[in-house]
Structure 1
Amino acid sequence: MVVLAESWIGTPYRHQGATKHVGCDCIGLIRGIWRELYGNEPEAVPAYAPDWAERSGEDRLTDAALRLFGKALPFAEARPGDLLLFRWRPDCAAKHAGILVAPTYFIHAYEQVAVTRSALVPSWKRRIAAVHRFPGTRID
């Protein structure tokens, strides 16, 4: 999972994109990784505005993660390759996603930058809303 996520580094940021080396946003990064793992699109994604999570009043990213990945895990159980969801404030919907690549680093599509590896500094860590493991990658 980490090698797969790292292969997306440098992909330009493109709102609603989901194509390696061409362009993606944070949701597109997760969709693209899903396609590489499982061979198909996880589910149809309706068009969304850059501020979609704040406009809708729904927590659509969290709802989709629960449908596709199952129950969230405690952060203490997170391991490299897990999906991280972030919310900017406790009263807001989750609006950002990335892949944990080490205890203190994650990969995500960063607006106006590209897919990049970032330090999981306290300002990111406190915004983690959920941790999910890709289906079929659980160690029981």
Structure 2
Amino acid sequence: MIVTEARSWIGTPYRHRASLKHVGCDCLGLVTGVWEALYGELPEEAPPYAPDWAEAGRGEPLAEAAARHLIQRPGSEIAAGDVLIFRWRPNVAAKHLAIATGPATMIHAHDGASVAEVGISPMWRRKLAYRFAFPGAAD
């Protein structure tokens, strides 16, 4: 169910702070769009954020928000349906999200491209900071 919904977003153009399937979304908009398809209304509204928000040194706001509504998964074994949060650089907040479609693939949105399913390369594995599961949803 999670992967099917995430795949239905493939081809959606990147649009900062958007979450409209086939119209535009960013990485957070992809995950919140899948949440809305699974559960309906979002449990909290995303605060306004600029593209460089995580460089401001304010802890781990994305991971903290995820921990309020998703189930943190231990270990490093990626499973279909996991929400993956990546850290671009050491000592900077994790700020990129994706949804795993299997142990070696994910769907994500990033600036300059449409939502796509890609391989989880060694570079992505090195940057993986957190894994969460949608509560009560199976894939």
What TM-score do the two structures reach when normalised by structure 2?
Answer: 0.93
Match of 2:63 in 1: 62
Quick check: 1:98 aligned with 2:94?
no
Match of 1:36 in 2: 37
In the alignment, structure 2 segments of 5+ residues that lack a partner are none
Quick check: 1:84 aligned with 2:65?
no
Match of 1:8 in 2: 9
In the alignment, structure 1 segments of 5+ residues that lack a partner are none
Q: What is the CA-CA distance between 1:90 and the residue it aligns to?
A: 2.9
Paired residue secondary structure (1:129):
strand
Count the aligned residue pairs: 138
User: Which of the pair has the greater relative contact order for Cα pairs under 8 Å at 6+ separation?
Assistant: 2
Note if contact 1:34-1:42 (Cα within 8 Å) is conserved in structure 2.
no
Note if contact 1:84-1:128 (Cα within 8 Å) is conserved in structure 2.
yes
Note if contact 2:57-2:93 (Cα within 8 Å) is conserved in structure 1.
no
Note if contact 1:74-1:130 (Cα within 8 Å) is conserved in structure 2.
no
Quick check: 1:133 aligned with 2:133?
yes
Q: What is the CA-CA distance between 1:28 and the residue it aligns to?
A: 0.4
Name segments (4+ residues, structure 1) moved above 2 Å.
70-73
What TM-score do the two structures reach when normalised by structure 1?
Answer: 0.93
Instruction: Single out whichever of 35-44 and 5-14 deviates more from structure 2.
Output: 35-44
Structure 1 letter corresponding to 2:80 = P
Once the two structures are superposed, residues 38-97 of structure 1 have per-residue CA deviations (whole angstroms, 9 ceiling, x without a partner) of 011231111100011112522110001110113333222x31011000001231111100
Note if contact 1:31-1:42 (Cα within 8 Å) is conserved in structure 2.
no
Structure 1 letter corresponding to 2:39 = Y
Q: Alignment identity in percent?
A: 46
